[in-house]
Structure 1
Amino acid sequence: MHVLITGGAGFIGSHLVDLHLGRGDKVHVVDNLSTGSRDNLASHLDRADFHFTEADIVTWPSLDEAVGWADRIYHLAAVVGVFRVLERPIDVMATNIAGSERLLRAVDHCGWRPQVLLASSSEVYGPRVDGCLREDMDLIVQADAPPRWNYAISKLADEAFALSYARTKAIPVTVVRLFNTVGPRQRGRYGMVVPRFVSQAVAGDPLTVFGDGTQSRSFTDVRDTVQMLDQLAGCATTDGLIVNVGGNHEISINELAERAIERAGSSSPVEHLPYEVAYGQEYVDIPHRCPDLTRLHGLIEYRPQWTLDATLDDLIARVRHREGAS
């Protein structure tokens, strides 16, 4: 199978590269390296069955050719991370929406129909305070749409484009709403909490909790996420599908901090930072976010194999190995 991965040098994308090359597929990655890294692909760069292009999906001149080559496309290219979303609200909207529409237009023009999996986000649910979030729920956009919600709005627009192309152009598409994926290669500098906590715990530094820490999330290891994405891509339909992808075991950020300290055998204290201090501006957080996985489990057989403790242990060991090698 020929696999095109936009944003494939990033956290999730590079794990998809590992998965598909490991099973004998040919993979082409395009990434502008704004948040991705060549290091994530270093072990593959000299392989004959792998090709990497450094380019922006919005302006890449070879997009049509790459789409026409592909049997399956994972569209992950986007401006991501809370810090980047708050710092570059215009780029978030322009890049995320234009990149997705350009890709879908190229698929329509390529002369045949590869499977398309488009990455959306649990952020599209907005400031809901419901229990588990279902794909058929009404979505909420906060009044005046502060920059905090630009990412969610861009992903919602991407979803609308994907479903419109599926239903009017017969493109087989699955839209996945990702919930808090964690694991190797994720970086804390863009606002991701788990790698930040792990690095701080290993170093013995204070764990910085943004807000009061009572907000809760459900975390899924990236190595489980890519297995689920692979199976879902095979379910792509011209009716269009929207599917939550993640785990449904919630943990508060305070509990997560304590868990990281415990697993690292650390004596790090926990410090709480007001959002205005952490992000440099007012920030509206979500009290809890957990997916309803009924639709996911009705479509695929795979179930996550990694527990949160196992992921934390693995990440702690990797940080210590890097520090020992430096």
Structure 2
Amino acid sequence: MHVLITGGAGFIGSHLAEYHLALGDKVHVVDDLSTGQLSNIAPFLDDPHFRFTEQDILTWCELDHAVGWADRIYHMAAVVGVFRVLAEPIKVLATNIAACERLLRAVVHGGWRPQVVIASSSEVYGPQGRVALHEGMPLLITPGAPPRWNYAISKLADEALGISYARQHGIPVVIARLFNTVGPRQTGRYGMVVPRFVRQAVRGEPLTVFGDGLQSRAFIDVRDTVRYLDQLAQHASTEGVICNVGRDDEITIENLARKVIERVGSTSTILTMDYEAAYGQAYEDIPHRRPSVRKLHELVEHRPTWTLDATLDDLIARVRAEET
């Protein structure tokens, strides 16, 4: 199988590349390295089945050719991370929406119908109450669209584009609403909490908890996420399929910090920081975010093999090796 991954030098994209290379597939990664890192894909560069192109998908002149080559496309390219979303609200909307539309247009013009997996986000659900978030429920966006919600709006637009192109042009599409994916190669540079906590604990530094720490999230290991995405791709439909990808067990951010300190055996303390101090502006957080995985488990056979404790232990060992 020929696999094209946009944003493939990013955290999840690089794991998708590794996964498909292990299956014997041919993989082409395109990334402008604005948030992705060459180090993420460096181990694959000498693999004869792997190709990397450093280009912006918005201007890449060979997109039509790459799309025509692919049997499956994972569209992972986007402006991501809380810090970047708040700092570059216009770029979030313009880049995320335009890149997805250009990719889908190229698929239509190519006359070939690869499976297309579009990475959406749990952000599209907005500030819901303490309920399991399921694919059929109404979505909430705060009136006035503060910068906090531009990412959600861009991903919702991508979903609408994917479904529309599927139905009008017969492209087999699946929309994956990704929930809090963690694991190796993720950086805390753009606001991701787990790698930031682990590195702070290993160094014996205070773990900085933004807000009161009572907000809760459900984390899934990236190695489970990529297996879910592979199996979901096989259900891509010309009507479009929308499916949550995550785990349904929540933990508060404060308890996550305590868990990291315990597993590291660190002397670190916990330091709370209000959102304005953390982000440089007012910020509306989501108190709870837990996916319903009923549809996911109806569609695919895979079940998570990585617990949160196992993921943390793996990350702790990797950071310790880097720090010595």
Q: Name the TM-score class by shorter chain.
A: over 0.9
Distance across 2 between alignment mates of 1:66 and 1:113 = 13
* Alignment deviations for residues 225-253 of structure 1 (CA, whole Å, 9 cap, x no partner): 00100000111010100000000000000
Question: What is the root-mean-square deviation of aligned Cα atoms in Å?
Answer: 0.5
Structure 1 segment 306-325 matched on structure 2, within 5 A: 306-324=306-324
SS at match of 2:195: helix
User: Counterpart of 1:255?
Assistant: 255
Distance across 1 between alignment mates of 2:130 and 2:314 = 32
SS at match of 1:290: strand
Distance across 1 between alignment mates of 2:139 and 2:223 = 29
* Alignment deviations for residues 98-154 of structure 1 (CA, whole Å, 9 cap, x no partner): 000000001111111000000000000011114100101100110100000000000
Is 1:166 the equivalent of 2:166?
yes
SS at match of 2:132: coil
Distance across 2 between alignment mates of 1:128 and 1:281 = 22
Read off the aligned partner of 1:153 and give its amino acid letter.
I
TM-score normalised by length of structure 2: 0.99
Structure 1 segment 223-262 matched on structure 2, within 5 A: 223-262=223-262
Distance across 2 between alignment mates of 1:209 and 1:189 = 15
Is 1:80 the equivalent of 2:80?
yes
Distance across 2 between alignment mates of 1:323 and 1:119 = 33
User: Counterpart of 1:194?
Assistant: 194
Name stretches of at least 5 consecutive residues in structure 1 with no aligned partner.
none
Q: CA deviation at 1:323?
A: 1.2
Structure 1 segment 43-122 matched on structure 2, within 5 A: 43-122=43-122
* Alignment deviations for residues 300-324 of structure 1 (CA, whole Å, 9 cap, x no partner): 0000000000000000000001112
Q: Which range is displaced more, 148-157 or 39-48?
A: 39-48
Distance across 1 between alignment mates of 2:271 and 2:46 = 45
Q: CA deviation at 1:47?
A: 1.8
Distance across 2 between alignment mates of 1:194 and 1:285 = 17
Distance across 1 between alignment mates of 2:323 and 2:194 = 18
Distance across 2 between alignment mates of 1:219 and 1:289 = 10
User: Counterpart of 2:125?
Assistant: 125
Read off the aligned partner of 1:173 and give its amino acid letter.
V
Distance across 1 between alignment mates of 2:141 and 2:166 = 24
* Alignment deviations for residues 13-50 of structure 1 (CA, whole Å, 9 cap, x no partner): 00000000011000000000011011011111122211
* Alignment deviations for residues 195-228 of structure 1 (CA, whole Å, 9 cap, x no partner): 0000000000000000000000000000010010
- Identity among equivalent positions (%) equals 69
SS at match of 1:109: helix
TM-score normalised by length of structure 1: 0.99
Distance across 1 between alignment mates of 2:226 and 2:91 = 27
Q: CA deviation at 1:172?
A: 0.1
SS at match of 1:13: helix
Distance across 2 between alignment mates of 1:17 and 1:112 = 22
User: Counterpart of 1:294?
Assistant: 294
Name stretches of at least 5 consecutive residues in structure 2 with no aligned partner.
none
SS at match of 2:35: coil
Distance across 2 between alignment mates of 1:304 and 1:35 = 27
Distance across 2 between alignment mates of 1:262 and 1:63 = 48
Is 1:28 the equivalent of 2:28?
yes
- Structure 1 residue ranges, 4+ long, deviating more than 6 angstroms after superposition: none
SS at match of 1:103: helix
